[in-house]
Amino acid sequence: MKSLVQATIAIIVTCALLFFAAHQLEAGGTQGSKDTITVYNWGEYIDPDLIAQFTEETGIKVIYETFDSNEAMMTKVQQGGSAYDIAVPSEYMVEMMKEEDLLIPLDHSKIPNMKNIDPYFLDLAFDPGNKYTIPYFWGTVGIVFNPTMVEEHLTFESWEDLWDPTLEGKVFLVDGAREVMGMGLNSLGESLNAKDDVLLRQATDRLISLSPNIKAIIGDEITPLMINNEATVALTWSGQAADMMWENEDLDFAVPEEGSNLWFDSFVIPKTAANIDGAHAFINFMLDADVSAQNNDYVGYSTPNAAAMELMDPEVIEDERFYPSEELREKLEVYENLGLEWLGKYNEYFLEFKMSLR
């Protein structure tokens, strides 16, 4: 009997110890370490030297993970399996994440370098008062092209130039429903945020009429093709175009006058964050003028950091292809959160267009 009691006590003690150990492991996994942060960002979207510099200055190690679409990023954050301290969504995704209660309000007192941001890029419609976001990069959607490989009359100051019969089988498009459907809508003089089945039908038919000129719908593969003169014309983002133009001086970039997309990527702190103080420290570090200028030189997209712009090459910030005038910016639109129903329709119409290419 005594042996049975002792065995029972031993089992109880062992179970208690195992439960305590499991609880500690779970807590450690969700609370994270105060000397580590996990940053979830787009690929090739930060100077790696700056990550090392941040660790050297603060002692906080950075675990850096990447995503290739806003939707993929949001799915991972929603699942909650990873403790992301920083994420970098685009403006329409910020709205969706707010609706899903996935973001932590920022403490501006911990981000003194916020003063370096140009006021033009603060207090925007998708995040009034910058309650949840700090601007990181911004840019446009336009057309990169090789003037030596197209007819002289094609300047791409209008979307109409893409339909020119001399471009048969020469046009590449990015694989994005909002970008391509937005182009179709803009080419008709309509908003790229239209919620109208008639307009979406017209835009799709307009895109289908472009099919003879389409070579392919691809992703980042377009960059080496344009650099190596294996492609002639492509719909792309301004920063990607800048990368191409750095490698191939024959290339040019234009934002059509009918209008296009003006996009913003921002720092946010998801509710998965395990080191909120570290996240604020990282955001503040990235807003430092010297750091931001160095990062801009590496990434190539347009910076909202006015203090950094004072340290940058004047030729870069005076180039209206990448820092468009206020007059042109008035014609550009930010992607709005369409909601699941209309986003689904955009995807369906885009798929119909893609199927027409086969």
The 3-state secondary structure of 294-318 reads HHHHHHCCECCEHHHHCCCCHHHHC
CATH architecture classification, 139-262+334-356: 3-Layer(aba) Sandwich (3.40)
Confidence at residue 31, expressed as pLDDT on a 0 to 100 scale = 43
Confidence at residue 33, expressed as pLDDT on a 0 to 100 scale = 66
Q: Which are the contacts of 78, defined by CB distance < 8 A and separation ≥ 6? A: 100, 102
pLDDT in tens, the chain (358 residues): 434 444 444 545 454 444 444 443 333 333 456 899 999 999 889 999 999 999 999 999 999 999 988 888 999 999 988 899 999 999 999 999 999 999 999 999 999 999 999 999 999 999 999 999 999 999 999 999 999 999 999 999 999 999 999 999 999 999 989 999 999 999 999 999 999 999 999 999 999 999 999 999 998 899 999 999 999 999 999 988 998 999 999 999 999 999 999 999 999 999 999 999 999 999 999 999 999 999 999 998 999 999 999 999 999 999 999 998 888 888 899 998 898 899 999 999 999 999 999 7
Tell me if residue 196 falls in helix, strand or coil. Answer: coil
Domain boundaries, the chain: 36-138+264-323, 139-262+334-356
| φ and ψ of 95, to 5 deg | -60, -40
> Alpha-carbon distance 82 to 95, whole Å?
21
Confidence at residue 16, expressed as pLDDT on a 0 to 100 scale = 47
Tell me if residue 263 falls in helix, strand or coil. Answer: strand
Residue holding tokens 């570290």? 278
- The set of long-range contacts for 42-48, using a CB threshold of 8 Å and a minimum separation of 24, is 42/66, 42/67, 42/68, 42/88, 42/265, 43/67, 43/68, 44/299, 45/88, 45/137, 45/265, 45/299, 46/295, 46/298, 46/299, 47/294, 47/295, 47/297, 47/298, 47/299
Contact 303, 309 (CB under 8 A): yes
Confidence at residue 3, expressed as pLDDT on a 0 to 100 scale = 47
Q: Which of 190, 168, 170, 172 is CA-nearest to residue 181? A: 190
HSE-CB at 250 with a 13 A cutoff on CA atoms is 14
Domain 36-138+264-323 is in which class? alpha beta
Q: Which 8-state DSSP code applies to residue 130? A: G
335 marked as part of a ligand binding site: no
Contact 236, 216 (CB under 8 A): no
What number of helices (H) and strands (E) belong to the chain?
14, 9
Could you give the maximum distance between any two Cα atoms of the chain, in Å?
100
40 marked as part of a ligand binding site: no
